[in-house]
Amino acid sequence: MIEFVRQHKDVFKNLDRIILAGMTGLFLLYAASGIYVVEANQAAVLRRFGSVLETVGPGIHYRLPWPFDQVDKVSIRQVKTMNVGFSPNLQSQAAQYQSITPYCLTGDQNIIHASFSIQYRISDPAKYLFQVNRPENVLKSQANQVILTTIAQGGVDSLLTTGKRQLEMKIREDLTRAIKDSDLGLSLVSIETRQIQPPNSVRGAFKDVINAREERSTAIHQANNYKNKVIPGAKARARGMLEKAGAEAFAKVSAAEGESSRFRELFREYVNAPKVTRERLFLELVDKALPRVKVYVTTSDQNGRPVKLKLVHRKGAAGPRPDGLDQANALPKSAQDRRENYLQNRSELPPDITEAISQGRVVQGMTAEQVTASLGEPDQVTVLTNNPAGDERWDYAQEFIFFKGSRVESWVAEQ
């Protein structure tokens, strides 16, 4: 040994330096072990002697080397999924050996199977790691409890049809409150219904009920659409009728007010000059009425006896004749002489002829055949021919009815 030391005497002279260099290197490596990197989707919880100091985000950081400090990294941006609920598909391994199938009881005492999918993420790494032991299991228990409580507050018809969206919102609201109260360090992202259905033994009956309710909803929707289409049109027509009635009412009221005002003016005139007003009104009325009536004039002779004037009314006397003949040539000379001779030496009309004229059975414009049929006496109608060729025929009924061509042109009548 002594000989070995003598042979390596130079080496042992530098041993202290070698040891110092090694210890220095080890210390640097130990100090460098405190450098750590946090990824972009992570957060790190720094602990010193087991006590949480802080939570750091992504980047390069330094901590005291072990055993002083420790770093726990968790993914904070990853969204995790958990299936919860009460459905045969979600039975645990231990429950598979049991004969009871998990179910939920609704508010109207019906049994349904319900399962949901929960999406969540870590919001507080320190609480997630050290506040609760196995926070995912706590979250699952809380979710099941909220599902049972919420379903027990609703009816089966609503849960199976239109109430699914409201159920999800209610479960999310209550579960978010429970997670916050428990300080799990988790945040609920969303909740979706995976399955809500009755037991297999009664599923057909429930399906029939759901179909009937959907048909009812469709019928109600169609009825509402028809109502929204018809009622505005009816209201528009009603408004039009009301506006028209209002306009007519205004017009009638205005006319009545005008007539009333005119009558008051007329009454004042009548109070001031009764006789003159009566005569003026009478003349105005006669002026309006005479153009629409036939006029018969009676007078008396020099002995005071009444004389019956028989007036001959000629159609179109005020203007040119429709056949181109002027008034002077209205009748051939022989027919005109015969008519004037009749007017000068006429006799009284037979009573039946007078009655036929007064009753309107013989009127201007009738043909000779119509006059004959109305009178019932063919011998009362005679025909006068001006020339044998018959170019222009002037007919007259014996003693009282004259004809031009084949229609009544004028007649002689008496009061």
Which residues of the chain have a pLDDT value below 50? 92-100, 310-332, 335, 342-348, 378-400, 402-415
- Closest to 72 measured CA to CA, from 120, 13, 33, 130: 130
Answer yes or no: pTM beyond 0.85: no
Q: Cα 33 from chain centroid? A: 75
According to DSSP, residue 202 is labeled G
At 97, list the tokens: 């050996």
- Distance CA(180)–CA(124), nearest Å, equals 11
pLDDT for residue 144? 92
Check: CB of residue 82 under 8 Å from CB of residue 136. Answer: yes
The predicted pLDDT at position 76 comes to 86
- Structure confidence by residue, pLDDT tens digits, 263-321: 888 888 888 888 888 888 888 887 777 776 665 555 555 666 655 554 444 444 444 44
Q: How is residue 399 written in tokens?
A: 């003693």
Residue ranges and CATH numbers for the domains of the chain are: 14-75 (no CATH), 80-198 (3.30.479.30), 312-317+329-411 (no CATH)
Residue pLDDT, tens place only, 195-217: 888 887 777 887 887 788 788 88
CB 103, CB 111: distance < 8 Å = yes
* 198 closest CA partner among 144, 155, 147, 142: 155
| Residue where the block lists tokens 């009558």 | 263
Q: Which residues contact 348 (CB under 8 A, 6 or more apart)?
A: 414
| pLDDT for res 22 | 82
